[in-house]
Amino acid sequence: MNNPPMDNPPMDNHCHSQWSWDTSADASMARSCEQAISLGLPAVAFTDHLDFTEPVAQDKVVLDGLDPHRYARMSLLDIAGYRASVEDCRQRYPSLRILFGAEIGEAHLFDVSARTAAASWSFERILGSVHAIPLNGQLTAAEDLFQLLPADEVMRQYFAEIIRLIEGSDLFEVLAHLDFPRRNWPARAGQYEEKAFEAEYRAVLAALAAGGRVLELNTKSPMASVEQLRWWHEVGGAAVSFGSDAHQPWRVAAKFNEAVSIAEAGGFSPGRDAFDFWRRT
Protein backbone atom coordinates (compact mmCIF):
# COMPACT_ATOMS: atom_id res chain seq x y z
CA MET A 1 0.00 0.00 0.00
CA ASN A 2 1.45 3.35 -1.04
CA ASN A 3 0.51 6.24 1.20
CA PRO A 4 0.36 9.45 -0.86
CA PRO A 5 2.67 12.27 0.22
CA MET A 6 1.24 15.14 2.24
CA ASP A 7 2.24 18.71 2.87
CA ASN A 8 3.11 19.10 6.57
CA PRO A 9 1.66 15.74 7.71
CA PRO A 10 0.82 15.22 11.39
CA MET A 11 2.84 12.80 13.46
CA ASP A 12 1.62 9.22 13.80
CA ASN A 13 0.84 8.64 17.47
CA HIS A 14 -0.05 4.94 17.26
CA CYS A 15 2.48 2.53 15.75
CA HIS A 16 3.35 -1.05 16.65
CA SER A 17 6.63 -2.86 16.10
CA GLN A 18 7.98 -6.38 16.36
CA TRP A 19 7.67 -6.05 20.13
CA SER A 20 3.84 -6.23 20.11
CA TRP A 21 2.49 -9.73 20.62
CA ASP A 22 -0.02 -9.44 17.74
CA THR A 23 2.37 -8.39 14.96
CA SER A 24 3.65 -10.70 12.24
CA ALA A 25 7.11 -11.44 10.85
CA ASP A 26 7.09 -8.33 8.65
CA ALA A 27 6.85 -5.98 11.63
CA SER A 28 9.94 -3.84 12.07
CA MET A 29 10.54 -0.71 14.09
CA ALA A 30 13.43 0.30 11.83
CA ARG A 31 11.42 -0.08 8.62
CA SER A 32 8.51 1.78 10.20
CA CYS A 33 10.89 4.67 10.90
CA GLU A 34 12.09 4.58 7.31
CA GLN A 35 8.50 4.67 6.09
CA ALA A 36 7.77 7.67 8.31
CA ILE A 37 10.82 9.51 6.96
CA SER A 38 9.87 8.73 3.36
CA LEU A 39 6.44 10.29 3.99
CA GLY A 40 7.87 13.40 5.62
CA LEU A 41 6.39 12.73 9.05
CA PRO A 42 7.89 14.85 11.82
CA ALA A 43 7.60 12.08 14.41
CA VAL A 44 6.19 8.68 15.30
CA ALA A 45 5.14 7.24 18.63
CA PHE A 46 5.70 3.54 19.09
CA THR A 47 2.91 2.32 21.34
CA ASP A 48 3.47 -1.39 21.62
CA HIS A 49 0.90 -3.45 23.47
CA LEU A 50 1.26 -3.50 27.24
CA ASP A 51 -1.26 -6.19 28.18
CA PHE A 52 -1.46 -8.32 31.29
CA THR A 53 -2.52 -11.97 31.51
CA GLU A 54 -1.17 -12.76 35.00
CA PRO A 55 -2.61 -9.99 37.16
CA VAL A 56 -1.62 -9.27 40.74
CA ALA A 57 -4.08 -9.95 43.52
CA GLN A 58 -4.93 -6.26 43.91
CA ASP A 59 -5.99 -5.77 40.27
CA LYS A 60 -9.68 -5.16 39.78
CA VAL A 61 -9.90 -8.05 37.32
CA VAL A 62 -8.98 -10.39 40.19
CA LEU A 63 -11.19 -8.69 42.73
CA ASP A 64 -14.10 -9.00 40.27
CA GLY A 65 -13.39 -12.70 39.78
CA LEU A 66 -12.77 -12.44 36.02
CA ASP A 67 -10.71 -14.83 33.91
CA PRO A 68 -8.16 -12.44 32.33
CA HIS A 69 -7.05 -14.65 29.40
CA ARG A 70 -8.82 -13.00 26.47
CA TYR A 71 -6.38 -13.90 23.65
CA ALA A 72 -4.41 -17.17 23.44
CA ARG A 73 -1.35 -15.50 21.88
CA MET A 74 -1.18 -12.58 24.31
CA SER A 75 2.11 -12.16 26.16
CA LEU A 76 3.69 -9.55 28.38
CA LEU A 77 5.73 -6.86 26.65
CA ASP A 78 9.51 -7.09 27.09
CA ILE A 79 9.76 -3.43 28.01
CA ALA A 80 13.53 -3.41 28.41
CA GLY A 81 14.11 -4.93 24.98
CA TYR A 82 11.51 -2.64 23.44
CA ARG A 83 13.11 0.44 25.00
CA ALA A 84 16.53 -0.60 23.70
CA SER A 85 15.09 -0.89 20.20
CA VAL A 86 13.67 2.64 20.44
CA GLU A 87 17.06 3.98 21.53
CA ASP A 88 18.75 2.19 18.64
CA CYS A 89 16.32 3.74 16.14
CA ARG A 90 16.87 7.17 17.65
CA GLN A 91 20.57 6.77 16.90
CA ARG A 92 19.96 5.46 13.38
CA TYR A 93 17.31 8.04 12.39
CA PRO A 94 18.20 11.34 14.11
CA SER A 95 15.97 13.41 11.78
CA LEU A 96 12.85 11.65 13.07
CA ARG A 97 11.47 12.26 16.54
CA ILE A 98 10.63 8.87 18.03
CA LEU A 99 8.47 8.61 21.15
CA PHE A 100 8.63 5.66 23.52
CA GLY A 101 5.04 4.83 24.33
CA ALA A 102 2.60 2.06 25.19
CA GLU A 103 -0.94 1.03 24.44
CA ILE A 104 -2.29 -0.28 27.72
CA GLY A 105 -5.21 -2.65 27.32
CA GLU A 106 -8.00 -2.62 29.91
CA ALA A 107 -5.96 -0.42 32.26
CA HIS A 108 -8.95 -0.01 34.60
CA LEU A 109 -9.14 -3.77 35.21
CA PHE A 110 -5.37 -4.24 35.57
CA ASP A 111 -5.02 -1.03 37.51
CA VAL A 112 -2.24 -1.98 39.92
CA SER A 113 -0.22 -3.88 37.30
CA ALA A 114 -0.55 -1.01 34.82
CA ARG A 115 0.34 1.65 37.36
CA THR A 116 3.41 -0.29 38.48
CA ALA A 117 4.66 -0.64 34.90
CA ALA A 118 4.00 3.01 34.10
CA ALA A 119 5.84 4.11 37.24
CA SER A 120 8.86 1.99 36.32
CA TRP A 121 9.26 3.27 32.76
CA SER A 122 9.19 6.80 31.38
CA PHE A 123 6.59 6.32 28.66
CA GLU A 124 6.22 9.45 26.54
CA ARG A 125 2.85 8.56 25.01
CA ILE A 126 0.29 6.29 26.66
CA LEU A 127 -2.81 5.16 24.83
CA GLY A 128 -5.76 3.63 26.64
CA SER A 129 -7.76 0.94 24.91
CA VAL A 130 -10.34 -1.77 25.39
CA HIS A 131 -10.09 -4.93 23.29
CA ALA A 132 -12.22 -7.17 25.50
CA ILE A 133 -15.09 -6.76 27.94
CA PRO A 134 -16.32 -8.82 30.90
CA LEU A 135 -19.01 -11.33 29.94
CA ASN A 136 -20.12 -14.29 32.05
CA GLY A 137 -17.03 -14.15 34.25
CA GLN A 138 -14.58 -14.01 31.34
CA LEU A 139 -12.77 -11.11 29.71
CA THR A 140 -14.07 -11.76 26.21
CA ALA A 141 -12.33 -10.55 23.05
CA ALA A 142 -14.35 -8.04 21.03
CA GLU A 143 -14.40 -10.18 17.88
CA ASP A 144 -15.92 -13.08 19.85
CA LEU A 145 -18.73 -10.99 21.28
CA PHE A 146 -20.70 -10.98 18.04
CA GLN A 147 -21.12 -14.77 18.36
CA LEU A 148 -22.58 -14.33 21.84
CA LEU A 149 -24.70 -11.18 21.73
CA PRO A 150 -26.81 -9.20 19.22
CA ALA A 151 -24.59 -6.81 17.28
CA ASP A 152 -26.13 -3.64 18.66
CA GLU A 153 -25.79 -4.98 22.22
CA VAL A 154 -22.09 -5.67 21.63
CA MET A 155 -21.53 -2.03 20.77
CA ARG A 156 -23.57 -0.72 23.70
CA GLN A 157 -21.79 -2.93 26.20
CA TYR A 158 -18.46 -1.95 24.68
CA PHE A 159 -19.17 1.79 24.91
CA ALA A 160 -20.19 1.32 28.55
CA GLU A 161 -16.86 -0.42 29.20
CA ILE A 162 -14.99 2.45 27.56
CA ILE A 163 -16.60 4.84 30.05
CA ARG A 164 -15.48 2.54 32.87
CA LEU A 165 -11.95 2.70 31.42
CA ILE A 166 -12.00 6.50 31.31
CA GLU A 167 -13.37 6.80 34.83
CA GLY A 168 -11.23 3.98 36.23
CA SER A 169 -7.77 4.89 34.93
CA ASP A 170 -5.91 8.18 34.74
CA LEU A 171 -2.78 6.62 33.23
CA PHE A 172 -3.52 7.30 29.57
CA GLU A 173 -3.63 10.54 27.63
CA VAL A 174 -5.16 9.33 24.35
CA LEU A 175 -8.18 7.06 23.90
CA ALA A 176 -7.45 4.62 21.07
CA HIS A 177 -10.10 3.32 18.63
CA LEU A 178 -13.18 4.19 20.68
CA ASP A 179 -15.46 1.88 18.63
CA PHE A 180 -13.04 -1.04 18.21
CA PRO A 181 -15.64 -3.86 17.74
CA ARG A 182 -16.90 -2.00 14.67
CA ARG A 183 -13.98 -3.61 12.82
CA ASN A 184 -15.81 -6.94 13.12
CA TRP A 185 -19.37 -5.67 12.63
CA PRO A 186 -21.20 -8.65 11.05
CA ALA A 187 -22.70 -8.37 7.57
CA ARG A 188 -25.86 -10.03 8.84
CA ALA A 189 -26.54 -6.94 11.00
CA GLY A 190 -26.66 -4.60 7.99
CA GLN A 191 -24.60 -1.47 7.51
CA TYR A 192 -23.01 0.03 10.61
CA GLU A 193 -24.51 3.45 11.37
CA GLU A 194 -22.81 5.75 13.85
CA LYS A 195 -26.07 7.66 14.20
CA ALA A 196 -27.75 4.59 15.71
CA PHE A 197 -25.32 4.86 18.63
CA GLU A 198 -25.16 8.64 18.89
CA ALA A 199 -26.18 8.66 22.56
CA GLU A 200 -23.46 6.13 23.41
CA TYR A 201 -20.81 7.97 21.40
CA ARG A 202 -21.70 11.25 23.05
CA ALA A 203 -21.57 9.70 26.54
CA VAL A 204 -18.07 8.35 25.87
CA LEU A 205 -16.89 11.61 24.32
CA ALA A 206 -18.31 13.69 27.18
CA ALA A 207 -16.50 11.54 29.75
CA LEU A 208 -13.29 11.80 27.74
CA ALA A 209 -13.58 15.58 27.42
CA ALA A 210 -14.35 15.97 31.13
CA GLY A 211 -11.06 14.27 31.94
CA GLY A 212 -9.08 16.47 29.54
CA ARG A 213 -8.09 13.49 27.39
CA VAL A 214 -7.43 13.29 23.65
CA LEU A 215 -9.53 11.46 21.06
CA GLU A 216 -7.69 9.30 18.54
CA LEU A 217 -8.69 9.39 14.89
CA ASN A 218 -7.74 5.80 14.14
CA THR A 219 -7.16 5.06 10.46
CA LYS A 220 -7.06 1.27 10.77
CA SER A 221 -10.64 1.18 12.02
CA PRO A 222 -13.45 2.14 9.67
CA MET A 223 -12.90 5.87 9.44
CA ALA A 224 -14.81 8.10 11.84
CA SER A 225 -17.28 10.44 10.21
CA VAL A 226 -17.08 14.21 10.24
CA GLU A 227 -20.23 14.08 12.35
CA GLN A 228 -18.45 12.03 15.03
CA LEU A 229 -15.67 14.63 15.16
CA ARG A 230 -18.32 17.34 15.49
CA TRP A 231 -19.87 15.48 18.42
CA TRP A 232 -16.42 15.51 20.02
CA HIS A 233 -16.13 19.24 19.38
CA GLU A 234 -19.63 19.91 20.74
CA VAL A 235 -19.02 18.13 24.06
CA GLY A 236 -15.86 20.17 24.63
CA GLY A 237 -13.22 17.85 23.21
CA ALA A 238 -9.98 19.81 23.06
CA ALA A 239 -7.72 17.73 20.84
CA VAL A 240 -7.41 14.99 18.23
CA SER A 241 -4.54 12.53 17.78
CA PHE A 242 -3.83 10.83 14.46
CA GLY A 243 -3.03 7.13 14.76
CA SER A 244 -2.54 4.59 12.00
CA ASP A 245 -2.45 1.65 14.43
CA ALA A 246 0.18 0.29 12.06
CA HIS A 247 1.29 -3.28 12.71
CA GLN A 248 3.37 -3.36 9.50
CA PRO A 249 5.76 -0.66 8.24
CA TRP A 250 3.76 0.08 5.09
CA ARG A 251 0.76 1.09 7.18
CA VAL A 252 2.48 3.98 8.97
CA ALA A 253 0.37 7.12 8.37
CA ALA A 254 -2.06 5.15 6.19
CA LYS A 255 -5.13 7.19 5.14
CA PHE A 256 -3.83 10.31 6.88
CA ASN A 257 -4.94 12.48 3.94
CA GLU A 258 -8.53 11.43 4.54
CA ALA A 259 -8.19 11.69 8.32
CA VAL A 260 -6.83 15.24 8.10
CA SER A 261 -9.79 16.30 5.95
CA ILE A 262 -12.21 14.80 8.48
CA ALA A 263 -10.49 16.52 11.41
CA GLU A 264 -10.55 19.89 9.65
CA ALA A 265 -14.24 19.54 8.79
CA GLY A 266 -14.93 18.52 12.40
CA GLY A 267 -13.43 21.72 13.77
CA PHE A 268 -9.77 20.86 14.50
CA SER A 269 -6.52 22.27 13.14
CA PRO A 270 -2.76 21.87 13.69
CA GLY A 271 -1.55 22.61 17.20
CA ARG A 272 1.39 24.58 18.52
CA ASP A 273 4.00 22.77 16.42
CA ALA A 274 4.44 19.71 14.21
CA PHE A 275 4.63 17.41 17.24
CA ASP A 276 1.46 18.63 18.93
CA PHE A 277 -2.02 17.17 18.77
CA TRP A 278 -4.53 18.97 16.58
CA ARG A 279 -6.58 21.43 18.60
CA ARG A 280 -10.18 22.64 18.42
CA THR A 281 -10.78 25.79 16.40
146-200 pLDDT tens trace: 999 999 999 999 999 999 999 999 999 999 999 999 999 999 999 999 999 999 9
Q: Contact at 8 Å (CB) between 247 and 222?
A: no
CB-CB contact of 102 with 47 (8 Å): yes
User: Any idea where the domains of the chain sit in the sequence?
Assistant: 12-280
pLDDT of residue 6: 77
Specify whether the backbone of 212 is left (phi greater than 0), alpha (psi in -120 to 50) or beta. left
pLDDT reported for residue 7: 81
- The confidence score (pLDDT) of residue 2 equals 54
Domain 12-280 belongs to what architecture? Alpha-Beta Barrel (3.20)
- Do residues 216 and 174 make contact, with C-beta atoms less than 8 angstroms apart? yes
What pTM was estimated for this model as a whole? 0.97
Residues of the chain where predicted confidence (pLDDT) is lower than 70: 1-2, 4
